[in-house]
Amino acid sequence: SSRTSWNTLLLLQLLTLCVSVCLQAVETNLASKDSHWVFVNEEISDTEILELTHSALGRMTVIRQIFPLWRDSSTRCMRHNHRISSLLCDPQEGYLQNLEVSNLYLYDSVLMLANAFYRKLEDRKWHSMASLNCIRKSTKPWNGGWSMLETIQKGNITGLTGTMDFKDGGSNSHVQFEILGSSFSETFGKDIKRLATWDSVHGLNGSLKESRIENGMQGVTVKVVTLLEDPFVMVAENILGQPKRYKGFSIDVLDALAKILGFKYEIYQVADSKYGSQLLNGSWNGMIGDLINKRADLAVSAITITPERENVVDFSKRYLDYSVGILLRKPEEKINIFSLFAPFDLAVWACIAAAIPVVGVLIFLLNRLQALRSSSNQNAPPGQPANGVGSGTLHSAIWIVYGAFVHQGGDGVVGSVALRIVMGSWWLFTLIVCSSYTANLAAYLTVSRMDHAIKSFQDLARQIDVDYGTVRDSAVYDYFRNKGTNPLEQDSTYAELWRTISKNNGMDYSVSSPSEGIRKVRAQV
């Protein structure tokens, strides 16, 4: 069994803040139809509950206290056979109706405290209270405090909030709460009704289950027309001898609706394999035509909502945004053995090829000068090589320069300052060149995969190498027809597109179904 996941929001705020939170949550899309609002407020009225019902999006539960009807003033003002002043127990009814619940509790608290004082004085059990001194750091507790508390707890009075009778635990057993929940019906729409009541003695009385949607489709068999299009409607694997079965996203939605509303359905494919387009004589073909002619009660497929279709049939809320795209076959990759040289121009490669021997000759000359200087130095330490780099030949110097360029290092020791300056500059040059080459090569390979000649309708209309079309009698087909044949349309792109799409009444390049179009693009016919 599946369980519904709710986003529960519990609000214990003032009523005005609750309404503001609901409206802001709906406006900022923080609330959805799966949200569950729980309002706990003792003084919320029926009018305010209806306001919250229309403000909140989703399910709503309200918990509020039940107050008794106002009793007769003659009964309400009697305390132990003594009549209390009406100024204390019977305020004006008009003012009473406007009191907040907190004020009602405050009134009953004072009334209960006065009743306790009266009982203590009547029973002659009053304990004198020592005077308080605010200057002293400590004050002696009142000896009659516990006795006064017991008298209050044993008191049983009827105030503006009802009967107050406190038990040993300190709770009032006469307090009752009602739980209201939102309900849905086709006649009244979203409404609120009582689900249960609660008190400390009997507990919960009622059920908190959400009301089932009232509808007139229980047990009704609905005839459904559909059109195959992956992944919305597809033919499922069928057992021999059994009726054809369907699956897909739209079928899942249909099954969910049938389960919630309690109806059954018979599904069939539309005869002409069309979504629905208006003909020249004013009639409609496809699934829209079956609905208009009452051959079907419901159409389920990946059908697009258009103004023309909305004029003749009713649509549900959209559950998927649709946009027009261009389906192209990926071009065949051409193997080019010289693609590694593409990141740099030919002039850059020529300069690099010339720089290697030039730097090699410079290294060779500096190495020769170092060797002559070392041989003429009589105080040279034993064991020092005669040449600073390599063996001192020209090809060895060029080899060292090339090895440094490809980051393979070199042999020999750079001894003189001049050689170190030249080699250091060369290493810096090779580092910059290799880093630039790596970055340009990565960018070149990425762009080459994303490079397409057709990126918009304008590119599609200007080229003549690729034939194009769409699904006949579809929403896209009607869109290009309306734009291409409109004399007030300033953009000539749609007129050019429509001439190609509608060639030979759409039989040359347009197709009858999306699957046929995909096969045609793959085969490049």
The stretch 391-409 carries a mean pLDDT of: 65
Q: What percent of the chain has pLDDT over 90?
A: 2
- Who has greater pLDDT, 84 or 509? 509
Radius of gyration of the chain (CA): 45
Asked if residue 413 has pLDDT above 70, the reply is no
Do 236 and 245 form a contact (C-beta atoms < 8 A)? yes
d(CA 468, CA 352): 47
What is the Cα–Cα distance from 264 to 154, expressed in whole angstroms? Answer: 63
Burial 60-88 (b: 16+ CB within 10 A, else e): bbbbbbeeeeeeeeeebbebeeeebeeee
Placement of tokens 């049938």 in the chain? 258
Lowest mean pLDDT among 185-199, 256-270, 311-325, 350-364: 185-199
pLDDT band at 379, cuts 50/70/90? low
- Distance, in Å, from the CA atom of 467 to the CA atom of 450, rounded to the nearest integer, reads 21
pLDDT at 130 over 70: no
Q: Annotated binding residue at 163?
A: no
What confidence tens digit (pLDDT) does each residue in 200-236 have? Answer: 777 888 777 655 545 567 778 889 999 888 888 888 8
**C-alpha dist (Å) from residue 469 to 164, 463, 486, 488:** 81, 14, 19, 23
Query: What domains can be seen in the chain, in order of their start residue?
Result: 7-67+175-206 (3.40.50.2300), 73-131+139-160 (no CATH), 221-310 (3.40.190.10), 339-376+384-450 (1.10.287.70), 457-523 (3.40.190.10)
Q: Which residues pair with 162 in a beta bridge?
A: 159
pLDDT the model gives residue 14: 64
Quote the pLDDT of residue 24: 75
Q: Both tokens of residue 309? A: 């279709």
What's the mean per-residue pLDDT of the chain? 73
The 10s digit of each residue's pLDDT in 17-62 is 776 777 777 676 666 666 777 877 766 777 777 777 766 667 778 8
Cβ neighbours of residue 521 closer than 8 Å, sequence gap 6 or more: 327, 328, 329
Angstrom CA distances, 329 to 46, 468, 512, 522, stand at 64, 12, 19, 6
Tell me how far apart the alpha carbons of residues 142 and 347 are, in angstroms, rounded to a whole number.
105
- Amino acid 83: pLDDT: 46
